[in-house]
Structure 1
Amino acid sequence: MAVNAEQAEDWNGASGREFIEQRERHEQMLGRLRARLLAAAAIQDGEYVLDVGCGCGETTILAARAAGSGHALGADFSRIQVAEARRLAAAAGVANARFEVADVQVHPFGAGVFDVALSSFGVMFFDDPAVALGNLRKALRRGGRLAFVCWRTRAENPVFTTGFDAAAAILGLREMPGPGAAFSLADTARAGALLSGAGFGGMEFVKADEPMLIGRDVDDVLAYERTSPTATEILTGLSPAQGDELTRQVRDRLMTYASPGGVVMPGAAWLVTAQAV
């Protein structure tokens, strides 16, 4: 059963394919933030863990290893990413990780099944976050732990403001991008109210600021940006001259973050922890 139809369509389509193709890049980008998430989750041997919006399963696999004699379930409504997650877990020999195509907002996990629920940037996309968090609370035992990372504002994260969509808006070729679903939990007052209403207590919001290595050099990142679904859509509707100017604008923006070690941008997230009450 799925209710987040628009998101499911996107993550089973262009966005999901891009994440699979760029999986290793995204791992290096988010590795420091994922490490902080796992440290905050403090998974113990024998615990049952739910990874929300597991994508290609990297966090689930790490959680399964930490759980030892327990197990980790990765849930995502992207069939293509779940298939990739299963492949990666099998290749890594992690037998206590399993994956399910599921819309966490409504999936019947059962009551009090999990000790820990965690998510690496997978909790921001629900049509009804109150219902989704309520379903997560039901799946956790009393006293169970919730830990997730979510983006702070777009303005604090240049990875979202240096690409083709923002450059096209500056050139007057399209409207400036709105806040978007990725930033739906950036407001801690709203996120805290949602968590409290769903039956969580002891909420803590910690600023997680970590450098993100986007690519080895500007040309590498520019090629990555050009192949994104958004850039493909924009460039298709432009003349060659407009496309060249837009590409130059993006290149100039990326140069700001270039260094001998690669293109590195600051990443600004919330590391959120709470307890099921």
Structure 2
Amino acid sequence: MTGDAEGDAADDVPDDAATPGDAAAPGGYDAELRRYDPVLHRAAAVRPGDRVLDLGCGAGRTTRDAARAAVRGRALGVDVSGPAIERARALARTEGLAQVTFEQGDAQVHPLPEDGFDLAISRFGTMFFGDPVAAFAHVRRALAPGGRLAMLVWQAAERNAWDGALRAALGASDRTGGTDATGGTGGPDPFSLGEPDVVRDVLGAAGFADVTLTDVREPLCFGPDVTAALTWVRGFTCTEAALAGLAPDAAERALDRVRSVLAAHLRDDGVWFDGRAWLVTARRAP
């Protein structure tokens, strides 16, 4: 799930063009996580005839990448955000990808054909499932016998320093859940699948076998400069909620602290924070 994207799709809007202040602007989301895309691509190992399901696809970059590899197959991206799905469709048309489709819906319950896919993928789209066992069981039923799952999820919050840094700067270090740097809803915990035992238990109960977790350490880019990064972070739903609970002068002080944190992470090529994720792979159990 990418969160509450706003904005209209347009054929002439590049995939890496973010909408300032939009917590789930598809381009900004893709730009932030661009170092993670090759990791998921290698793990997915999409074959020419594969039928691929992308869970929480956002603007569909990972879906379209899968479709390019599945030249004799097809790829379906599902996301709750209508604007993100419209943008994904527009980009697919621009790129001439006939073997990819997008549907708006919650992947936890969205109607999916039984045994209809060979591979399910997700780039940080599965941590927000309300009932993860039921949701992954739903995905498992959509996979053909021997079907594979490959997904990225955040490791525990304490292993992702950007979360603590932003929460402390916002004066919200005592809040439950996390600061969802991927533009999530700010409600469910983006670190809900951060513990390996939890992942194994959930997937095992949902009907998956051969569950493996691989440590992935790649940085996240919040923007090309401090001004852009601050605009991006201010658009997070959780940031808006934290600021809304403060008096105007306190909110300004909080933003000044956030700006200082971002400035401390400025490099020549942007504002970067270390990130830690799990690459999770599994197979549909017999």
- TM tier, smaller: 0.7 to 0.9
Partner of 1:202: 210
Identify the match of residue 37 of structure 1 among 40, 43, 47. Answer: 40
Identify the match of residue 4 of structure 2 among 8, 11, 21. Answer: 11
Q: Is the 8 A contact 1:60 1:72 kept in 2?
A: yes
Q: In the TM superposition, what are the counterparts of 1:1-277 in structure 2 within 5 Å?
A: 11=4, 18-21=22-25, 23-163=26-166, 165-169=167-171, 175-179=174-178, 180-277=188-285
Q: What is the CA distance between 1:159 and its match in structure 2? A: 3.3
Q: Could you report, residue by residue, the CA deviation over 1:160-193 in whole angstroms, capped at 9, with x for unpaired residues?
A: 3333x432326xxx84343442111111101101
SS in 2 for 1:109: coil
- Alignment CA distance shift 1:238-1:218 (3 Å): same
Instruction: Quote the RMSD (CA, aligned, Å).
Output: 2.4
Q: What is the CA distance between 1:91 and its match in structure 2? A: 1.6
Q: Could you report, residue by residue, the CA deviation over 1:6-35 in whole angstroms, capped at 9, with x for unpaired residues?
A: x89x63679x992553x3232222112121
- Alignment CA distance shift 1:258-1:206 (3 Å): same
In 2, Cα distance between equivalents of 1:191 and 1:159: 22
Q: What is the CA distance between 1:103 and its match in structure 2? A: 2.2
- Alignment CA distance shift 1:139-1:237 (3 Å): closer
Q: Could you report, residue by residue, the CA deviation over 1:134-177 in whole angstroms, capped at 9, with x for unpaired residues?
A: 111111111111000001122222333333x432326xxx8434
In 1, Cα distance between equivalents of 2:6 and 2:131: 22
In 1, Cα distance between equivalents of 2:125 and 2:243: 28
Q: What is the CA distance between 1:219 and its match in structure 2? A: 2.3
Q: Is the 8 A contact 1:56 1:84 kept in 2?
A: yes
In 2, Cα distance between equivalents of 1:239 and 1:250: 16
Q: What is the CA distance between 1:56 and its match in structure 2? A: 1.2
SS in 2 for 1:32: coil
Unaligned 5+ runs, structure 2: 8-18, 179-187
Unaligned 5+ runs, structure 1: 1-6
Q: Identity, % of aligned pairs?
A: 36
Q: Is the 8 A contact 1:166 1:176 kept in 2?
A: no
SS in 1 for 2:33: helix
After TM superposition, where is structure 1 displaced by more than 6 Å over at least 4 residues in a row? none
Q: Could you report, residue by residue, the CA deviation over 1:56-112 in whole angstroms, capped at 9, with x for unpaired residues?
A: 111111110010111000012222221221112112211111011222222331221
- Alignment CA distance shift 1:108-1:236 (3 Å): closer
- AA paired with 2:240? T
- AA paired with 2:160? N
Q: Is the 8 A contact 1:130 1:197 kept in 2?
A: yes
Q: What is the CA distance between 1:199 and its match in structure 2? A: 1.4
Q: Is the 8 A contact 1:207 1:270 kept in 2?
A: yes
Q: Is the 8 A contact 1:169 1:176 kept in 2?
A: no
TM-score, structure 2 normalization = 0.84
**Aligned length, in residue pairs:** 264
- Alignment CA distance shift 1:220-1:77 (3 Å): closer
- Alignment CA distance shift 1:80-1:193 (3 Å): same
Q: Is the 8 A contact 1:146 1:273 kept in 2?
A: yes
- Identify, as 1 or 2, the structure richer in helix: 1
In 2, Cα distance between equivalents of 1:115 and 1:276: 10
In 2, Cα distance between equivalents of 1:100 and 1:40: 24
